[in-house]
């Protein structure tokens, strides 16, 4: 996802945060509490990550950390089993809204509270099939936000473009993950591969073990690599 797309998505998230914080009349001088939940390591300040961009954007909306805004940051630092506990910590801190970054964080926040507004920060795949919202038009519940979606049609189109660029490639490796949306894209790519007369070598990355994945691809003698990229399209979801 490019910087402009990230910026647009963050602006959507900020708009949804502002709506969530202003949903009910609040007394003058109230200090708001924003929870940030992420499975990753805490990024350094100069990194253009959502957990850094959101506080900056909140300042532009009049919410200044240390004045009328307290930010409760919780990072699982790659230990994904910590997310449920961290989500419960945010609930116990009585935050006004939670920004949950990634599917695992969204699921942990959803399990921790049915009343505190949750803003999805770059969830992957269809939020309806994942059970985050009732429908795109009428989410209901306490979850809204932005998801990142790559329709399965893009998987076949990428393969077509790769074959056009490398017509001699008879075996093409597909780097994928265990996410459901990845399996859908692989199925779409396999159908396109039959029409293009190429053989797919599907390699699933286990966690962050890319070294093993690339060794597997090299051993399979793939002529090209078609990575699976879910983060190509942002879609906002808001209550109507």
> pLDDT tens for residues 174-208?
888 776 567 767 887 888 888 889 998 888 887 77
Structural domain includes residue 51:
yes
Same domain? For 102 and 207 the reply is no
pTM of this prediction exceeds 0.85: no
Higher-scoring residue by pLDDT: 192, 109:
109
pLDDT at res. 181: 60
Share of the chain above pLDDT 70, in %: 82
Q: Residue 172: phi, psi to the nearest 5?
A: -120, 125
Structural domain includes residue 210:
yes
Structural domain includes residue 235:
no
Same domain? For 96 and 191 the reply is no
Structural domain includes residue 233:
no
Looking at 148, 171, 194, which one is the last position of a domain? 148
Higher-scoring residue by pLDDT: 4, 8:
8
Q: How confident is the model at residue 84 (pLDDT cuts 50, 70, 90)?
A: very high
pLDDT at res. 2: 42
Higher-scoring residue by pLDDT: 61, 153:
61
Could you list the residue range(s) of the whole structural domain that residue 203 is in? 152-227
Over residues 79-95, mean pLDDT: 96
Number of domains in the chain: 2
Strands 143-148 and 234-237: antiparallel
Looking at 148, 165, 182, which one is the last position of a domain? 148
Same domain? For 25 and 130 the reply is yes
Whether the predicted pLDDT of 75 surpasses 70: yes
Same domain? For 18 and 117 the reply is yes
Structural domain includes residue 238:
no
Looking at 104, 125, 148, which one is the last position of a domain? 148
Same domain? For 207 and 144 the reply is no
Same domain? For 82 and 158 the reply is no
pLDDT digits (tens, 9 = 90+) for 35-55: 999 998 998 888 878 888 888
pLDDT at res. 69: 93
Q: What is the CATH number of the domain that holds 144?
A: 3.40.50.2300
Contacts of 170 (CB under 8 A, 6+ apart): 197, 198, 199, 223
Same domain? For 29 and 59 the reply is yes
């Amino acid at each position: 996802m490019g910087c402009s797309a990230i910026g647009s998505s963050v602006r959507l998230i900020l708009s949804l945060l502002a709506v969530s914080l202003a949903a009910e009349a609040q007394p003058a001088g109230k200090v708001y509490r924003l929870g940030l939940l992420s499975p990753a390591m805490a990024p350094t300040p100069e990194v253009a990550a959502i957990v850094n961009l959101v506080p900056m954007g909140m300042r532009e909306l009049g919410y200044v950390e240390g004045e009328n805004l307290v930010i409760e940051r919780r990072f699982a630092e790659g230990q994904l089993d910590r997310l449920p506990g961290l989500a419960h910590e945010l609930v116990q801190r009585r935050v006004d809204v939670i920004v949950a970054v990634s599917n695992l964080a969204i699921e942990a926040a959803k399990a921790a509270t049915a009343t505190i507004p949750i803003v999805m920060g770059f969830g992957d795949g269809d939020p309806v099939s994942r059970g985050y919202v009732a429908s795109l038009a009428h989410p209901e519940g306490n979850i809204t936000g932005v998801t990142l979606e790559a329709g399965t049609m893009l998987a076949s189109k990428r393969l077509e473009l790769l074959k056009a660029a490398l017509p001699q490639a008879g075996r093409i490796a597909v780097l994928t993950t265990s996410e459901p949306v990845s399996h859908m894209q692989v199925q779409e790519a396999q159908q396109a591969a039959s029409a293009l007369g190429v053989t797919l070598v599907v390699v699933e990355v286990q966690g962050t073990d890319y070294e093993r994945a690339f060794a597997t691809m090299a051993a399979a003698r793939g002529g090209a690599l078609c990575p699976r990229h879910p983060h190509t399209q942002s879609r906002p979801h808001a209550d109507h």
